[in-house]
């Protein structure tokens, strides 16, 4: 993903899901930027966004089992 506009302009990241039995390994690589936030607040915001993405993807993927 790459954000081209808005408060996260310049953020680039990938996230990969790897099935591991009953669990899923999530790997994230990238650089997160949020205008007006320091490093700790940016990290918190990025983790919240990734959690939301995972939950949405997880719900969608359950439809294909």
- pTM of the entire predicted model: 0.73
Domain spans, the chain: 12-62
- Contact criterion met (CB below 8 Å) for 35 and 22: no
The pLDDT score that the predictor gives to residue 65 is 63
Could you tell me what percentage of the chain is helix, strand and coil, using 3-state DSSP and rounding each to the nearest 5? Answer: 35, 30, 35
The pLDDT score that the predictor gives to residue 51 is 92
**Ordered per-residue pLDDT tens for the chain, 65 residues:** 899 999 999 999 998 989 899 888 889 999 999 999 999 999 999 999 889 988 998 888 888 76
């Amino acid at each position: 993903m790459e954000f081209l506009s808005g408060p996260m302009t310049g953020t680039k990241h990938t996230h990969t899901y790897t099935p591991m039995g009953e669990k899923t390994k999530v790997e994230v690589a990238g650089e997160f930027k949020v205008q007006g936030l320091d490093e700790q607040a940016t990290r918190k915001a990025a983790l919240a966004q990734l959690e939301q993405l995972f939950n949405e993807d997880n719900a969608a993927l359950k439809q294909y089992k």
